[in-house]
Amino acid sequence: MRLLVVEDEPVLRQQIEQALSLAGYSVDVAADGRDALHFATQEPFDLIIMDLGLPFLDGLTVLKSVRSAEVLTPVLILTARDNWHDKVTGIDAGADDYLTKPFHMEELLARIRALIRRSVGLADAVLRCGALELDTRTSRLSENGRPLTLTAHEYKVIVYLFHRINQVISRAELTEHIYAQDFDRDSNTIDVFIGRLRKKITIDCIETVRGLGYRLRNPDV
């Protein structure tokens, strides 16, 4: 899952980026409203975390512009303003949730997980596909209760497939959502990660759809 963090305060921005990276997300960052607007309208993200008090363009202006551009990416507002009016204004401008500063990083991570799940029509923090079980709270994949050890990129691939179960996902889409912009992207490595996952998962659940990409197939549906 690829996230955009928009925060002008350097220390907090770094702290959020580090926490999200440790949680298994690919993270892009922006320090002002102009860069945020460019990123949000030009790059595919699974979620945007945005401060309201930004240089050049404030967060509400960015949010309104993003929604005007018909970008439906979930947006979580970070605000130091503990005022109900500002929160209502943010929600009305197109935000999906808000978090008031200061906050605990665990709460931010929980809200991110919930927003991403809801954006694809999922409710439970534990995702299932036949004998496979993915606990998004602990970043653990298991098969019939047996924990599977994954690399960071293998985990990112399987998480994205789990959130779009039974859908055909192209190599290009997977590449865009498991790498940040400044990463040296190579769509050919997706095949390598899929191959490694198939060796670790004993059930045949990751299908190759010739000429289109891959699909995580749920045998129970």
Q: What is the pLDDT of residues 14-65, one digit of tens each?
A: 999 999 999 999 999 999 999 999 999 999 999 999 999 899 999 999 999 9
Helix axis angle, 105-119 relative to 10-22, nearest 10°? Answer: 60
Q: Are residues 114 and 15 in the same domain?
A: yes
Instruction: Please list the alpha-helical segments (H only) found in 83-170.
Output: 84-92, 105-119, 152-162
The CATH number of whichever domain residue 70 belongs to comes to 3.40.50.2300
* Structural domain includes residue 62: yes
Of the residues 76, 101, 119, which one is the last residue of a structural domain?
119
Q: Do 93 and 185 reside in the same domain of the chain?
A: no
Domain count for the chain: 2
Q: Residues 157-193: pLDDT tens digits?
A: 999 999 999 999 999 999 999 988 766 666 678 999 9
My answer on whether 41 and 91 are in the same domain is yes
Contacts of 122 (CB under 8 A, 6+ apart): 163
Domain extent, residue 189, equals: 126-216
